[in-house]
Amino acid sequence: MKEVQVLAALQHPRVVKLLGACLQPPMLALVQDLAVGSLFELLHGSGGRPLELPRLLQVAMDVAEAMAYLHPHVVHRDLKSHNILLDKDGRALVYTCAVVVVIALCRHT
């Protein structure tokens, strides 16, 4: 499956890594990095308190780095707080599985 090959090739510290896949029905599975939560949970589970500015800026920078890495070849198509996961250090990871479109690369000579 082309999408799984593209996802497996993505190697960036701010993008959730695809570690393995089983594509033989009926046992379909993806194995990925471990995340401890999502940006949605962070924003809506803190008792309604806004994030401190340094934390907010770190998340924004993490997501911006991931998207800058992805966009030359991949369009995410579903970037939202549910798809921004948090690692054990609280850093943001963009979740890409099943929501990417590969951009065809054309060379004009």
Residues with active-site annotation: 78
Q: Which residues contact 98 (CB under 8 A, 6 or more apart)?
A: 3
Residue 19 and residue 31: Cα distance in Å, rounded?
Answer: 5
Measured in whole angstroms, how far is the alpha carbon of residue 87 from the centre of its chain?
11
Torsions phi, psi of 13, nearest 5?
-65, -15
Residue 9 and residue 51: Cα distance in Å, rounded?
Answer: 33
Neighbours of 85 (CB within 10 A): 21
